[in-house]
């Protein structure tokens, strides 16, 4: 792996033999900087492997501290490595989805083979992948005003795709839960829980399906985009912790609350053909989609 100094984190000389990592935010101070440390720093400005740094340090007489200790001190000033783990594929149209797309793209959190800004779940091709070739699992993130349409929810369930629904409403939004089809609560489970709590919920939901997106002002839209992007990054870093967990953000009060949704006992989303819960017409669960085999 190539190590490289992040040009946005200054490494400043405090004295002829003392370095400070960071300016307004000081990450640490490296004392007794000699020729070996200077050669290591020079190599890191252009990028170098750890093995190359060891050779340079040894040629210059060795660092005052072990090289591992020097690199640990400099770690806050190192550029982020390219992401190789779980990534997101966004689906949705409008100001907020477009802003979230820009934020995640800037941090290299989007699946390279994912949709373009403005694509919706209904426009996704049946071949949409749940894994990105060589990059790990992909989480589909449909962003919708008011409510996720049942057809869109079914789109991800039929593809056995890990997905994180996001709903933007009147000054508030919900993110999640992260849904793994067949093992966690799905959106229909949540619908059934809401019906149990409020028999009027189906009538309310039906009125929200075709309702125009809320007209959030620029500041509320920016808050929403940042909240969504930050939560997506958290989920990508630790998907297991987000399974079944939904957060709600009040954009005006700036409050964040959370809850966990269990599977509903009357929802058959996790049932398999031949089980006590599956109906006779239940289809066989679709296989996990695999990365496309490179042609060159």
- Average pLDDT on 190-208 reads 94
Residue 38 pLDDT? 85
Helix (H, G, I), strand (E, B) or coil at 176: coil
pLDDT digits (tens, 9 = 90+) for 46-93: 888 888 888 888 887 777 778 888 888 888 888 876 666 789 999 998
Domains of the chain: 2-77 (3.90.930), 87-260 (3.40.50)
Q: Measure the CA–CA gap between 272 and 274, rounded to whole angstroms.
A: 6
DSSP for 15-80 reads ETTEEEE-SSS--EEE-S--HHHHHHHHHHHH-EEHHHHHHHHHHTT--SS-HHHHHHHHGGGBPP
pLDDT of residue 212: 92
Segment 245-268 shows an average pLDDT of 92
Phi, psi angle pair for 47, to nearest 5° = 105, 130
pLDDT of residue 278: 37
**3-state SS assignment for residue 222:** helix
**19 with 65: CB under 8 angstroms?**
no
Asked if 108 and 157 count as a contact pair (C-beta separation under 8 A), the reply is no
Q: List, in sequence order, every beta strand (DSSP E) within the chain.
A: 2-3, 11-15, 18-21, 28-30, 48-49, 87-91, 131-132, 136-145, 166-168, 172-175, 245-250, 255-260
pLDDT digits (tens, 9 = 90+) for 200-236: 999 999 999 989 999 999 999 999 999 999 999 999 9
Q: Can you give the pLDDT at residue 205? A: 94
Structural contact between residues 147 and 167, judged by C-beta atoms closer than 8 angstroms: yes
User: Counting Cβ atoms within 10 Å, is residue 152 exposed (0-12), middle (13-18) or buried (19+)?
Assistant: buried
Is residue 52 exposed (0-12), middle (13-18) or buried (19+ Cβ within 10 Å)? middle
Is the per-residue pLDDT at 163 higher than 90?
Answer: yes
Q: Is 167's pLDDT higher than 50? A: yes
Residue 141 and residue 232 in contact, taking contact as beta carbons nearer than 8 Å? yes
- Higher confidence at residue 279 or residue 25? 25
Give the three-state DSSP class for 241.
helix
The pLDDT of residue 162? 93
Question: Which one, of 213, 138, 136, 231, lies nearest residue 170 by Cα?
Answer: 213
Eight-state DSSP code of residue 157: H
Cβ 23 vs Cβ 29: under 8 Å: no
Residue 270: is its pLDDT beyond 70?
no
pLDDT digits (tens, 9 = 90+) for 123-160: 443 334 444 434 578 999 999 999 999 888 888 888 88
Q: For residue range 5-53, what is the model confidence (pLDDT) as tens digits? A: 888 888 899 999 898 888 998 888 888 888 888 888 888 888 888 888 8
């Amino acid at each position: 792996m190539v190590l490289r100094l992040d040009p946005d984190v200054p490494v400043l000389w405090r004295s002829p033999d003392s370095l400070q990592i960071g300016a307004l935010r000081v990450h640490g101070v490296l004392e007794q900087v000699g020729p070996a440390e200077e050669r290591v720093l020079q190599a890191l400005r252009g990028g170098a492997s750890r093995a190359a740094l060891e050779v340079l340090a040894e040629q210059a007489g060795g660092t005052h501290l072990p090289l591992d200790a020097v690199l640990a001190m400099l770690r806050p000033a190192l550029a982020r490595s390219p992401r190789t783990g779980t990534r997101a594929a966004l689906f949705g149209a409008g100001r907020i989805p477009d802003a979230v797309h820009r934020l995640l793209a800037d941090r290299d959190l989007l699946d390279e083979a994912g949709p373009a800004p403005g694509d919706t779940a209904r426009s996704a091709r049946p071949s949409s992948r749940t894994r990105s070739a060589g990059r790990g699992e992909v989480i589909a993130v449909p962003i919708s005003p008011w409510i996720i349409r049942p057809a869109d929810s079914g789109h991800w369930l039929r593809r056995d795709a890990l997905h994180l629904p996001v709903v933007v409403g009147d000054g508030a939004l919900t993110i999640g839960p992260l849904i793994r089809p067949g093992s966690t609560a799905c959106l229909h489970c949540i619908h059934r829980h809401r019906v149990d709590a409020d028999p009027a919920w189906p009538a309310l939901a039906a009125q929200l399906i075709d309702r125009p997106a809320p007209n959030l002002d620029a500041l509320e839209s920016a808050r929403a985009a940042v909240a969504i992007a930050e939560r997506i990054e958290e989920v990508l870093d630790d998907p297991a912790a987000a399974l079944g967990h939904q957060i709600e953000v009040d954009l005006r009060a700036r409050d964040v609350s959370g809850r966990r949704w269990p599977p509903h006992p009357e929802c058959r989303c996790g049932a398999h053909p031949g089980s006590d819960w599956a109906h006779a017409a239940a289809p066989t669960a679709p296989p996990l989609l695999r990365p496309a085999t490179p042609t060159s």
